[in-house]
Amino acid sequence: MNVLGLIGSPREHGNTATLVNAILEGAAEKGAETKVYQLSKMDLKPCRGCMSCRSEGKCVIDDDMQELYKELLSADALVIGSPIYMWEVTTHTKTFIDRLIALTCWQPCAKPEFVSPLKGTTKIVLAYTYGSPNPNNFNQYFKYMEGLFSYLGFHVQGSIWASGTVNPDDISHQFEVLENAKEIGKKL
Ligand SMILES: Cc1cc2nc3c(=O)[nH]c(=O)nc-3n(C[C@H](O)[C@H](O)[C@H](O)COP(=O)(O)O)c2cc1C
């Protein structure tokens, strides 16, 4: 079992990193191989909309996303964590999500024989942190994101979030959230 963790916060040791790592820790306790990347440290260029992926069958941008495509396709599960910035995921996270277009082929598809490698078998857990103390602030957005990843061909396992996290270590006091995160990881 390979579990790939992606941290979409520019804060290396912030709340999102702690949340993602708690999930990975749970998975590792059950014997999974885990690997984690900090998206902000990678060379990830925005999608150009060139649609070359439709004719080439792959993304033509030569950057670190090529490594992430490989990791993703050999992963059994993906844990993607992002802080909420202005009511949505960070730029780093959104850039990664946009680049997933190269793994999809909805109509009209210039290469009809292309079969998406995402066939609903790769599990995904979505993890978020945000500053507002209201634990229900972004419920609708989190559901919407689950819908998106399900549409993209992932097997959505659920979402977890820590509200009221402002300073980088605020989440360390949220024992229940971290315990739940570990449990989610174990179940992967
Ligand atoms: C640019 C920016 C925008 C933010 N927007 C929101 C927001 O819309 N809603 C919210 O509740 N918190 C918002 N926050 C707070 C972060 O989501 C919160 O502090 C989060 O835990 C940071 O994660 P990190 O510690 O992993 O970096 C924002 C923070 C920044 C820096």
pLDDT at residue 56, as a whole number: 82
Contact 161 CB / ligand 1 (< 6 Å): no
Ligand 1 atom with the smallest distance to the CA of 165 is 21
pLDDT at residue 115, as a whole number: 61
Q: How far apart are the first and last CA of the chain?
A: 9
Q: Which two tokens stand for residue 99?
A: 């680049």
- Could you give the CA distance from residue 174 to residue 188 in angstroms, rounded to a whole number? 22
Count of CB atoms within 10 A of residue 178's CB?
Answer: 21
- Could you give the CA distance from residue 156 to residue 158 in angstroms, rounded to a whole number? 6
Taking alpha carbons only, the member of 33, 50, 32, 38 closest to residue 14 is 38
Pick the residue whose CA is nearest to atom 30 on ligand 1. Answer: 85
Q: Which residues contact 151 (CB under 8 A, 6 or more apart)?
A: none
Q: Are the CB atoms for 154 and 183 separated by under 8 Å?
A: no
Pick the residue whose CA is nearest to atom 2 on ligand 1. Answer: 85
Ligand 1 atom with the smallest distance to the CA of 81 is 26
Q: Which of 36, 130, 165 to probe ligand 1 with, by most ligand atoms within 8 A of CB?
A: 130
Ordered structural domains, the chain, with CATH: 2-187 (3.40.50.360)
Q: Please give the average per-residue pLDDT across 31-56, as a whole number.
A: 94
Q: Is the pLDDT of residue 51 over 60?
A: yes
Q: Which of 15, 85, 89 to probe ligand 1 with, by most ligand atoms within 8 A of CB?
A: 85
Q: Which residues contact 146 (CB under 8 A, 6 or more apart)?
A: 126, 156, 158, 159
- Mean pLDDT of the residues in the chain: 93
| 126-140 tens-digit pLDDT | 999 999 999 999 999
Q: Is the pLDDT of residue 16 over 90?
A: yes
Contact 141 CB / ligand 1 (< 6 Å): no
Q: Please give the average per-residue pLDDT across 131-154, as a whole number.
A: 96
Count of CB atoms within 10 A of residue 1's CB?
Answer: 14
Taking alpha carbons only, the member of 50, 52, 44, 70 closest to residue 114 is 52
User: Which H or E run includes 80?
Assistant: strand 77-85
| 69-85 tens-digit pLDDT | 999 999 999 999 999 99
- Could you give the CA distance from residue 43 to residue 30 in angstroms, rounded to a whole number? 32
Q: Are the CB atoms for 4 and 77 separated by under 8 Å?
A: yes
